[in-house]
Structure 1
Amino acid sequence: MELDPLLLSRIQFAFVISFHAIFPVFTIGLASYVALLEGLFFKTRNPVWMKLSAFWTKVFAVVFGMGVVSGIVMSFQFGTNWSNFAQATANFLGPMLSYEVLTAFFLEASFLGVLLFGRDRVPAGVHLFAAIMVATGTFISTFWILSANSWMQTPAGVELRDGVFHVLSWGEAIFNPSFPYRFMHMVIASFLTGSFVVAGVSAWYLLRGREVTANKKALSMCLWVILILAPTQAVVGDFHGLNTLEHQPTKVAAMEGNWDTQANVPLLLFALPDQDNQTNHFEIGIPGVASLILTHDVNGVVPGLKDVPPAEQPPVAIVFWSFRTMVAIGMLMILFGITGLVLRRDDRYWRARWYLQGLRFMSIAPFIAVLTGWFVTETGRAPWLVYGLMTHAEGVTPSLTGAMALFTLIGYILVYALVFSAGLYYLMRVLYVGLEDRHEELESDRPMRPLSAAHVPFEIGGQDPSNQTSGGR
């Protein structure tokens, strides 16, 4: 069997970027959370905020390290697997990636040391400043990376001459048409990811009666963020979708599973796209809703996949189902935010065992949403590397063989498996130790008995949970 170097190179890059993406999307939100905790401690001198900050800073450091290790090798792929692309886009992407390193990575790495080891070595104000700088660095990094990737989606400010992109306007290239929407979408996704992870870990501790006061505060903060940002993300996503419809209509057609340009397009809840026959099987949809969402008119016209040749169509099934997975998780996030608000009555949000268990499982949901969102973005762009200007086939390294691509793909999988295993081991150790020594308790925690998964107080029939026992349930 002949190995296709183009297909293997695409699989390899998809694997590497997917593995790497789960780390920065978490650290962006977590860095801002740590900065907030440091600010609260600086203002109130309440040791609870310091304990929370110290704990989540350790988590941030481990995840940040895993992100750095997994991200370094990505740049090498441009030269090994995508040399034509690297040469063609070097005038723009080269400076963009350099700016990210110079203005963001160095800032994060420098002040992270102060944040980790400077608690008793520098003034409190300097420690707070370090936390703010680390958080700022994550936003700067996001700015450059999202601008570069958005330019590949909606290229602007450049001219293609003799196979090389030349920058005509840096402002237009950096602030390309899709960048503002994608940047906001990613930042909110990062905050939601951080919030759900912190909420899930806090719920896990509360189920075990550990550091109740601190974890109750952490959970409360996260639920407010989720309540506000989850619906906001839906609105931002709608604007992002309208922008995509304007600049990448074929991608939107794949997201909706719409083959023919038509009005009154249904919102498909289920379908099996058949790209070979250019149709769907077993469609279940709501008439007119897709047109309403995309054009704000039930009778609005939505472009179809058949508007372009089959060779220029993305893999429809992947885009179609990835989009629905992302949206379903988003709706679930909104539901958890609203449920948390309802449970705040009588302080039940941190005592309802079923809700805490749900938050534990929801801690991985944002990562799935982010990955499926990236699948929609990147797979939906196919077959273009630079949308409308350069295809994957034109960007791949000419001398690359299938055997070489397979060898490096296996190598990346093995190395990343080692990195992930080591990182997960140290992360679990940090989580096991918790906010403080297991034999210490905050003064306000001491009256509470330890809670195991089977002995978590929650209300039944409006009774006071302090009067219930496991047997009574």
Structure 2
Amino acid sequence: MEWIDALTLARIQFAFTVSFHIIFPSFSIGLASYLAVLNGLHLMTGRPVYLMLFNYWKKIFAIAFGMGVVSGIVMSYEFGTNWSVFAEKTGPVLGPLMGYEVMSAFFLEAGFLGVMLFGRERVGPKLHCFATAMVALGTFMSAFWILSVNSWMQTPAGYAMNDVGQFIVVDWWAVIFNPSFPYRLVHMLLAAYLTTAFVVGGVAAYHLLRQKSERVKGSGTAVMFSMALWMAAIVAPIQIAAGDAHGLNTLEHQPRKIAAMEGHYETVKGAPLILFGVPNAKERRMDCVVQIPYLGSLILTHTLDGEIRGMDSWPADEQPPMGIVFYAFRVMVGIGTLMCLLGLWSLWLRYKGRLYDTPLMHRAALWMGPSGFVAVLAGWTVTEVGRQPYTVYNLLRTADSASPIDATAIAFSLLAFVVVYFSLFGAGVYYMLRQMANPPSMSDPALSVQEPMRAAGLAGARTGVAGHSGSGGQV
């Protein structure tokens, strides 16, 4: 078939591998910070419930971290196999940035990961807390460098071209802190925190539904549920504001992507906000439209009659595919809205004192557990497909970035990736779900270690069941 060519197969393969990969960093970034918070709270308060939750989630973090590293290494090889022209032309710019990620972030994570996972009894609580914070910092730095790389591909800056057609650096500051980088970094980090919060909240909700005995303020499951919903209530509205700022930045630097996101085939003043529609690429119009008049211009230009450029502003070979971007954007925004509503609902139930004994909330939180992953995948789809037909926006086309490799070879490697990924990562995800199916327990052997208790009400108590029974504080 005509569409099954080497370029299409290479794009499918990279989309497949990057979709698998992004799931794990989006979880491990937030989970590393959550572990650091739990460790710090235990160090400050002496409450064994925090150590119990730390030990519960650190096992899951170790699996997610390992699968994220493995899936990331695979993508690095793909640059050399399927995208060698892209690697050659952008190597002087992107190569050092990816090297900085390895030398700083990965070395920091790897250096302290063993201490975090296995060294508490050997190094003591304070140094163990420091090691956990360093792992969290490492995940942040990894996101920093990778987002800088990808943002430069979206909004290239600080470069020049040499005699052989390569991008070279003339200003490292402009390369790293390119125009879209601050917005995309904040947006991605908040997405990672929300992804983790809803996984944690979903797991807690599962156990609250199964075990009524856990619906007690101060129990491990209740503390976990409370912390997750605090994060949702606080971060989800911030994410909406960050997304709005990111959209304005995209309008300035990538207006074609905005046209696809908003569903505008024609340039219009006083543009409506299209809530839903069916893109008709053949007729160049939006069918079955549900829209709110003028709201699109108000959001993007802050005026009712602001002009929003449509796809007719660019030649056909410069336009991204609207359908994929249009639908993915609405999935992302829809999930973000549900996250915000769930967070606000949790505040109301918390105020009424019914957060732990409202099964409808628990079922909603359980169903929303995987929502962060779906939103992240939808967001990255908008980002990457909306950049087409370029790998480096307006400068290097995707068609000119691929390796001169036979379609058959890519097809066989794609098939191998599908089999190996679903087998290997499927087993890893299954094991994580098995771990999550067990509730956090105070019978963990690590909790039998003597811990200093700083809270006055727990002074002299040992970490364990006795210490837990005396700690009834609220998260």
The match for 1:15 is 16
- Which is further off, 371-380 or 277-286? 277-286
Given that 2:221 and 2:439 are in contact with CA atoms closer than 8 Å, whether structure 1 keeps it comes out as no
Deviation at 1:206, TM superposition (A): 1.6
Deviation at 1:431, TM superposition (A): 2.0
The answer to whether structure 1 residue 61 and structure 2 residue 59 are counterparts is: no
Deviation at 1:83, TM superposition (A): 0.5
The answer to whether structure 1 residue 396 and structure 2 residue 402 are counterparts is: yes
What 5-or-longer segments of structure 2 have no aligned partner?
446-463, 470-475
The match for 1:342 is 348
CA distance in 2, matches of 1:224, 1:335: 13
The answer to whether structure 1 residue 207 and structure 2 residue 209 are counterparts is: yes
The match for 1:138 is 139
Structure 1 residues 229-266: Cα deviation after superposition (integer angstroms, max 9, x where no partner): 10111111001000000000000000011111120111
Deviation at 1:437, TM superposition (A): 6.8
The match for 2:105 is 104
Any residues of structure 2 matched to 1:147-186 within 5 Å, and which? 147-161=148-162, 162-186=164-188
The match for 1:432 is 437
CA distance in 2, matches of 1:439, 1:354: 31
TM-score (norm 2): 0.91
Structure 1 residues 316-360: Cα deviation after superposition (integer angstroms, max 9, x where no partner): 000001001100101100100010001013421111111101101
The match for 1:50 is 51
**SS at structure 1 position matched to 2:286:** strand
Letter in 2 for 1:319: V
Given that 2:169 and 2:175 are in contact with CA atoms closer than 8 Å, whether structure 1 keeps it comes out as yes
The match for 1:468 is none
CA distance in 2, matches of 1:214, 1:201: 12
Identity of aligned residues (%): 50
Deviation at 1:432, TM superposition (A): 3.3
- Which is further off, 211-220 or 138-147? 211-220
The match for 1:246 is 252
The match for 1:87 is 88
The answer to whether structure 1 residue 276 and structure 2 residue 282 are counterparts is: yes
The match for 1:127 is 128
Call closer, same or farther: CA 1:442–1:206 in 2, change over 3 Å: farther
The match for 1:235 is 241
Any residues of structure 2 matched to 1:264-413 within 5 Å, and which? 264-398=270-404, 400-413=405-418
The match for 2:455 is none
CA distance in 1, matches of 2:179, 2:92: 19
Deviation at 1:428, TM superposition (A): 2.6
**SS at structure 2 position matched to 1:22:** helix
**SS at structure 1 position matched to 2:123:** coil
The answer to whether structure 1 residue 115 and structure 2 residue 137 are counterparts is: no
**SS at structure 2 position matched to 1:280:** strand
Call closer, same or farther: CA 1:324–1:126 in 2, change over 3 Å: same
**SS at structure 2 position matched to 1:23:** helix
Alpha-carbon RMSD across the aligned residues, in angstroms, is 1.8
What 5-or-longer segments of structure 1 have no aligned partner?
447-473
Deviation at 1:444, TM superposition (A): 9.3
CA distance in 2, matches of 1:313, 1:416: 32
CA distance in 1, matches of 2:275, 2:467: 49
Given that 2:101 and 2:142 are in contact with CA atoms closer than 8 Å, whether structure 1 keeps it comes out as yes
Deviation at 1:443, TM superposition (A): 5.9
CA distance in 2, matches of 1:439, 1:386: 51
Letter in 2 for 1:129: F
The number of aligned residues is: 446
